[in-house]
Amino acid sequence: MNSPLQFELPEELQQLRELVRDVVRKEVVPNRMHYDENNEYPKAILQKFKEAGLYQALFDEEHGGLGYGMMGGIVLAEEVSWGCLGVNTAFTSTKLGALPIDVGGTKAQKDKWLPLLASGEKTAAFGLSEPGAGSDVPAMATTAVKKGDRYVLNGTKQWISSAGQADIYTVFAMTDKGRGPRGISCFIIEKDTKGFSFGKKEDKLGIRCSETRQLIMEDCEIPEENLLGGKENMGFLHAFKTLILSRPAVAAGAVGLMQGAFDAAIEYAREREQFGTTIASFQAIQHMLADMAIKIEGSRLLTYKAGVYAETFHKDAAKFSAMAKCYASDSSVQVASDAVQIFGGYGYTKEYPVEKFYRDAKILQIYEGTSQIQRNEIAAGLIKDAASKTKKG
């Protein structure tokens, strides 16, 4: 009897995985410490990604992409993060910035912007968080006021990946403060727009090659055709749909990072000798490796399920996206920590890659919704499900 569960990716996605692995091993792995130590944006690597058609793999065929869907994005995030989570963040920030257009844009907006992003000719970024409104989105202070055929935006966005490097920004602002979260709208802002600028580059613990800055809007005027979807007060819905689709990709980044840390750790354990034998022969090390593998495979399966649900906007998509993001993120910190432990003192030095995996992993529990916020959303979904079952009973 054939199982309904499919654990093998379709052939085209397996081919994509092999392509990405080849590019990552040639371009990312040899250069990742240079970009990390110099806090330098990986322009040369992203150019290689463009030449290899990896940006196209993030988008649908209608807009110049390859049409691999959600699973294509997950494969990309997983494999690039195996090499460097910072490079992955710099790369996939374009898809994150494009998602509001994808889920909420008019046909004209999609036709104008998405082909440019799919080709890699332009890159994008996503602007939701603020200095005083991270997890608390309704506390957003950025405003957009309609004046004639234009909107005037004022405010600051915080922790924006690829800010200053990206060409196009999807930015959320209050158009009706009295409606709370239902009064948020989303706007498309081009980099060279008057009144639009960037704060200092943050000096971060990890993902150091992915630039993080503020977006600053000071009487920033944009044409009304850049109001996403052509309707005000739809931004909360656009953000909600975006995060359902983006969180499995973050989880995939965590899976890739864990796999990279695990691969380094098990190779080292097989080579490193103590007390006349390799440390891989010690049961304590074997149990650590087993626990790491369990977390990786559990995270991978949950991520793939969340990806399938997200792509179809299944009724449980939000819950499983949050589960995948939370579990994989938390697991990545533990797996990276265990990898450092297996390396011992060497793991604490920059001579080996595991200290970087460890530093990079922490951001996964923070960006695109903290692990605590994910648990809130998971619990809310569980309680809603239970209430629904009670009513039906």
Tokens representing residue 225 in the block: 């055709």
- Do 147 and 170 fall within a single domain? yes
Count of domains observed in the chain: 3
pLDDT at res. 165 = 98
DSSP, collapsed to helix, strand or coil, labels residue 165 as coil
- Do 253 and 370 fall within a single domain? yes
200: domain CATH number is 2.40.110.10
295 within domain boundaries: yes
Handedness of CA 163, 164, 167, 170 (dihedral sign): positive
- Do 110 and 219 fall within a single domain? no
Q: What are the Cα distances from residue 86, in Å, to 74, 153, 313?
A: 16, 30, 28
Catalytic residue among 27, 79, 130, 368: 368
> Which DSSP letter does residue 167 get?
S
Per the structure, the complete domain to which residue 229 belongs is given by 124-235
CA–CA distance, 169 with 190 (Å, rounded to integer): 6
2 within domain boundaries: no
CA–CA distance, 28 with 83 (Å, rounded to integer): 6
- Do 215 and 257 fall within a single domain? no
pLDDT at res. 121 = 98
pLDDT at res. 392 = 76
Could you tell me if 213 and 198 are in contact, meaning their C-beta atoms sit under 8 angstroms apart? yes
- Do 188 and 294 fall within a single domain? no
- Do 374 and 246 fall within a single domain? yes
84 within domain boundaries: yes
Sort residue 194 into left (φ over 0), alpha (ψ -120 to 50) or beta.
beta
Could you tell me if 90 and 42 are in contact, meaning their C-beta atoms sit under 8 angstroms apart? yes
Question: What are the φ/ψ torsions at residue 190 (nearest 5 degrees)?
Answer: -85, 150
pLDDT at res. 103 = 97
* Model confidence pLDDT, tens digit, residues 20-76: 999 999 999 999 999 999 999 999 999 999 999 999 999 999 999 999 999 999 999
36 within domain boundaries: yes
What global pTM score does this model have?
0.96
Of 235, 265, 288, the one marking the end of a domain is 235
1 within domain boundaries: no
368 is catalytic: yes
> What are the residues whose beta carbons fall under 8 Å from the beta carbon of 111, sequence distance 6 or more?
63
> What are the residues whose beta carbons fall under 8 Å from the beta carbon of 358, sequence distance 6 or more?
261, 333, 336, 337, 339, 340
pLDDT at res. 390 = 84
Other CB atoms within 10 Å distance of the CB of residue 225: 13
